[in-house]
Amino acid sequence: MLAAEAAYDALQAGRQHDELTAYPAAFEQSWLYKELLQAKNFKQWFKKGRTTATLMTGIEQWLLPKLGIRNPPWTIHRVKPDHVYLKPAAECEKIVYPKPDGKLTFDRLSSVFISNTNHEENQPAHLTLKDASVPVNINWEKYAGPESRYCPAGVYEFVQNEEGKERLQINAQNCVHCKTCDIKDPMQNIVWVTPEGGGGPNYAGM
């Protein structure tokens, strides 16, 4: 809403190519900014272990506000991006997940269906690869194809070609715009760009 208001004001003033500097200023004055600032260290504490995270989150979210300190006076900075933490498949034990029961747990495609996700088929592809050989030669060989697991919508699927070899198939129609692939791809080979407006998930009941 804040971005929409800033865009509306810019258009009313005839500034079609404005950088919307009013938006970050308005955001910093909003309740959301204050709420996010208070929780800024939440994920980083949990990367240090459950015990440390429970203790420090309690201090930041419960104790400090009682002392009148809404914003933790410290910031935990990340030192590595998410994609460098992925370990080779050979170093990990394979996880066998139970099949969805259709009552409490559901398969990915069913979840995509109820999200009403849709993209116009004649729009430019918003998911592309920098190097088409990377998914099979590196991601599949070294990491057992993580694209097919970290995507919550089944966008990335390894299928066999006519020669019986694996190839990566991108089902862009399923994309729910979470950008997990852009963040987690170990070789940063996936290019995620903003799709055309009006596409993607449409949670009508929310």
Would you write out the chain's pLDDT as a tens digit for each of its 206 residues?
888 888 888 888 888 777 788 888 999 999 999 889 989 999 899 988 999 999 999 999 999 999 999 889 999 988 888 899 899 999 999 888 899 998 899 999 899 998 898 888 888 889 999 999 999 999 999 999 999 999 999 999 999 888 888 999 999 999 999 999 999 999 999 999 988 877 888 877 66
Domains of the chain, first to last: 80-196+199-203 (3.30.70.20)
Place of tokens 């500097």: 21
DSSP code, position 177: S
Of the candidates 163, 157, 166, the residue with the CA atom closest to the CA atom of residue 133: 166
Which amino acid makes up residue 192? W
Q: Which contacts (CB < 8 Å, 24+ apart) does range 12-20 have?
A: none
Which amino acid makes up residue 194? T
pTM of the model: 0.70
Collect all residues with Cβ–Cβ distance below 8 Å to 168 and sequence separation of at least 6: 129, 135, 136, 139, 140, 145, 147, 156, 157, 158
CB count within 10 Å of CB 184 equals 19
Place of tokens 């109820």: 114
